[in-house]
Amino acid sequence: MKSGLKLGALGVEVQRLHRALTAAGHKIEPAELERNEFGPSTRDALREFQRNLGLDEHGETDEPTCEALLEIEKNITINIYEGGYCPLNLPPYPTAKLRLTAHSSIRTGHPLLTCLRASEPTQLKL
């Protein structure tokens, strides 16, 4: 998560911010989501997020806010439904819940995805 995001920002980092805020239960206008835009509803959602955590409520991403958002982002669960694609060749289930966690390999520095289903961790090199 990038520090310094504020009203008017656009792009992938705003998309990450949207994903974390919506995962935390905050509402963002669909038009802002579609454009990956830090608009008024994103600012309001971020202020509410900051207020709920007792952080400075200024509607911009700073280091404490980013740390809290990263914790949310680490715990986002992706649902894969029957007939959907899973690169791990897991048997299809009507609603298999997989937890995907992004991190870097210590050896190579390449990002890895860890996919956990029950107690079967698998890592995918991106």
Q: pLDDT of 19-74, one tens digit each? A: 999 999 999 999 999 999 999 999 999 999 999 999 999 999 999 999 999 999 88
* Residue 17 pLDDT > 50: yes
Q: What does the domain layout of the chain look like in residue ranges?
A: 12-74, 77-125
Predicted local distance difference test score (pLDDT) of residue 114:
40
- Predicted TM-score (pTM) of this structure: 0.63
Extended strands (E) in 23-104? 77-81, 95-104
Is the per-residue pLDDT at 109 higher than 90? no
Q: Which residues pair with 81 in a beta bridge?
A: 95
pLDDT of residue 12: 94
Q: Which two tokens stand for residue 80?
A: 């894969």
